[in-house]
Every structure is written in structure tokens, then in C-alpha cells.
Amino acid sequence: MNFTPTADKLIPDLSPREEIVLLARTLWREGYNDHLAGHITINLGDGTLLCNPWLLTWDEIRPRDIIRIDLDGKLVEGDWPVPLGIPLHLELHRARHDVRVAMHSHPLYGTVWSDIGEVPPAMDQSSNLGGGGDLVLVAEYGGSVDSSDAARQAVDAMAGAELALLAGHGVFVLGSTVRAVHQRAVALEQRCHHAWMVRAAGGALNSPLPAWFVDRSRNSDGNGFRGFWEAMVRAELRADPTLLDELGLDID
């Protein structure tokens, strides 16, 4: 029998709850691991969002732990509290109907550049990684994470960008799919890490990448690099073979 493998055949079909769990766990390994901080939302298109809960770290959540909330941040379904910093996602999903998946966290190097108030260039292939999207700096720190006004200011400052460094805070990564957000988040932290290392070594932040290559990545929707997301999902399932056994209530 002839069999031509494709990326999509190399992982099981995933529900949105399972996608959030696997995105959280894969990104935890990539440095998105600031203790209890960080939120991932998927817009279900019915006025509700799926979200990781408060009180659990990204490397321990399971599909049954994912909660469902409305656009006012009220718990609709689930056994865990709503994250304190959810206003950023609520304001984003109210304003940006093109965004299905949003991820906010405090990775080390992305947060350092946001603290500096500078957008580092992509210095190499891995810093682009096919993730695409415009990266902007939201230079004003508008207030604490539970402030709707501060969240609205940050979303307005992003305009139509897909990635942001939030001054004094962390990063915000948006996309149409979990695949796109994973791709963009990994590339963003590598971009910030590599640029920091180049500067620390005394090198100039003059990217050797040609403009056409950088533009091609920036104009990507993040869904073109097939196989990378799947490989990272398989790594998580090897690390915890029982991860998808607890399906809970499936909302597709």
C-alpha cells in the first residue's frame, strides 16, 4: 500500500480544549514559563471564549481544566477561577474579530526587550521561522493586568498588528489558529533571545537577512510551516501519553 505522510496525519484530531493545553505545554518548554502568569484564549464564535484557568501552571493543565467564559469575563463553564489578567483578552476579542486565538505571557527575552522599550530585529532564519505578522511596541504601561482601561489602550495601540511587546509587561501574540500562534510565539522569543545575545557579545544589530526574506515572513499568516506544530505536539504526547485521555466536555 502506498502512503504519503502529511503533517496533519501525524497527530490526532484535537478539540479546542486540547489545542489550548498543547499550546500551553509546548510554549512552556520554549520559555513561556513565568509561574502562574499567562493566558491563552480561543474565540468559539458564540460570545464565549475557552481559556486556561487561574491557579494552574501551563505545564500542568489538562483538557478537563480548561474553562469557558463570556466576553464580560464571567465564568460560564468549568471548575477553576478566571485568570486575573483576562481583560487584555476580553478587549482584544471585542475589537478584533479576525483573531481566533490569543496568547499573552512573560517569556524572559521578550519581556526584557519590552522593558527596554525596543523592538529587536530578526537576526537569522530561526528568528523568522515562517511565523509572520507585524511586531509592534506598545510603549505605554497603562496600568495593572486587571484594568479594562489599560487593556483597551494596549489593544488600540496594537492597531492591526499580530505581535506586540508590552512595555513593562510581556508579549501578546495573535493568530487565526493555534498553529499560527505557536509558530509566531516560538519565533518571537528566538528573535528576542538571539538579538540579545548578539548585543551582549558586542555585535551590531544589523540583520544580515535580505529584505525580501523578512517581508515574506512578516506577510505570512503563520499557517504555512506545516510539520513544526505537529512535531512539538508529538513531543508533548511522548512526555505524557495520558494527556488526551481526560477529554472532559468537548466543544468544537
pLDDT at residue number 6 = 62
pLDDT at residue number 2 = 46
DSSP for 163-187?
EEEETTTEEEEEESSHHHHHHHHHH
Instruction: Check the CA dihedral 106-44-16-159 and report its sign.
Output: negative
> Can you read off the three cell numbers belonging to residue 15?
478539540
Instruction: Compute how many other C-beta atoms are within 10 angstroms of the C-beta atom of residue 230.
Output: 16
The predicted-structure confidence for 174-225, as pLDDT tens digits, reads as follows 999 999 999 999 999 999 999 999 999 999 999 888 888 888 888 888 787 8
Q: Taking all residues of the chain, what is their mean pLDDT, rounded to a whole number?
A: 91
Contact 169, 158 (CB under 8 A): no
The predicted-structure confidence for 62-94, as pLDDT tens digits, reads as follows 999 999 999 999 999 999 999 999 999 999 999
Q: What are phi and psi of 199, to 5 degrees?
A: -65, -40
> Model's pTM, two decimal places?
0.92
The predicted-structure confidence for 19-43, as pLDDT tens digits, reads as follows 999 999 999 999 999 999 999 999 9
Question: What domains are defined for the chain?
Answer: 12-239 (3.40.225.10)
Residue 138 vs residue 245, higher pLDDT: 138
**Amino acid, res. 9:** K
Distance CA 20, CA 89 (A): 14
In this predicted structure, the answer to whether residue 1 has a pLDDT above a threshold of 80 is no
> Can you read off the three cell numbers belonging to residue 161?
498588528
pLDDT at residue number 8 = 60
